[in-house]
Amino acid sequence: MEMGMFQDTRFLGRKVLFENVKGLLKFDCIFTDKTDFDIIDMDYPIDFGVASFGEDAYRLARIQKEKIGDFSGATNYFYLEKCYRGYQILPEPYFWDKNQKGLKKFQFLVYLKTDKAYEKIIPKFIDWIFNFSIGYGEKPSRALRMLLTLTFVFAFLYMFIDIKVGNQIVNYDLGIGTYIFSIEYWKELLRDFGNCFYFSLVTLSTVGYGDITPANGWGKFVSGVEMFLGVTFVGAWTATLLRKMIK
């Protein structure tokens, strides 16, 4: 099914469904307050500039879901609306121009100057973080995944930073020797990683029992960074989960 634009169209039905439509660019139409409007498997482009068509369509679908009281359905459209808005923050970077010669082939600096793209790098990065970590506040599973990822990453870092477990200091190096073929070595490695994972978990959650502590300045610095991230992402996960449950 190919079409371009619904312009000055008024839908009066109770249910309007567009599914698996190719080439549907833009909606410019009016619905009644009781119309249930759904967009499923649409083929909207994500390129910079034309992604606005997808943003407009999913915003319209979200508004209609909110009007009829389907807040669960509105959640998904809100997420898609934010995704398509994010696609418009920064154009795709380009680095080379085959038609040029010498240093003029390198076009990345030209790209940064075009429409002041350099000013949009940080907003694009922040948008990516919000999408990846919490799904713009609509994906509690992503927030939980982010917490688990941070726990594992910092647990790995603690393996190479002095942390004190009882009277023992855990500190590995990246050297490889014949000892790696020893069963006792792997038992000790797994035990130490378990302690580091436990320390990472209580640090990220800001519980801090004190039974395992950093033994030097680097350990204190890294654990401090994890505490800050823990306060941020645990709060984000809690808020996202609560928002999902309320809807």
Whole-angstrom CA distances from 98 to 80, 106, 117 are 36, 9, 22
Measured distance between the N- and C-terminal CA atoms of the chain, rounded to whole angstroms: 34
- Helix axis angle, 140-158 to 217-246, nearest 10°: 170
Domains in the chain: boundaries: 1-86, 92-117, 140-246
Judge if pTM exceeds 0.85.
no
How many of the other CB atoms lie within 10 Å of CB of 35? 17
Phi, psi of 210 (to 5 degrees): 90, 0
Write out the chain's pLDDT in tens, 247 residues: 344 566 667 777 788 888 887 766 677 777 888 888 898 888 788 888 788 888 988 998 999 999 888 888 899 999 999 999 999 998 888 888 888 887 778 888 888 888 788 889 999 999 999 999 889 988 888 999 999 999 999 999 999 988 898 888 888 877 666 677 788 888 888 999 999 999 999 999 988 888 889 988 999 999 999 999 999 888 888 888 888 777 6
- Helix axis angle, 183-204 to 217-246, nearest 10°: 60
Joined tokens for residue 167: 């009277």
Contacts of 185 (CB under 8 A, 6+ apart): 179
> Which stretch of DSSP H or E encloses residue 230?
helix 217-246
Residue tagged 């909207």 (tokens): 44
Could you give the CA distance from residue 80 to residue 165 in angstroms, rounded to a whole number? 46
Instruction: Give the strand pairing for 163-165 and 212-214.
Output: antiparallel
CATH class given for the domain over 140-246: mainly alpha
**E strand spans, 32-112:** 36-40
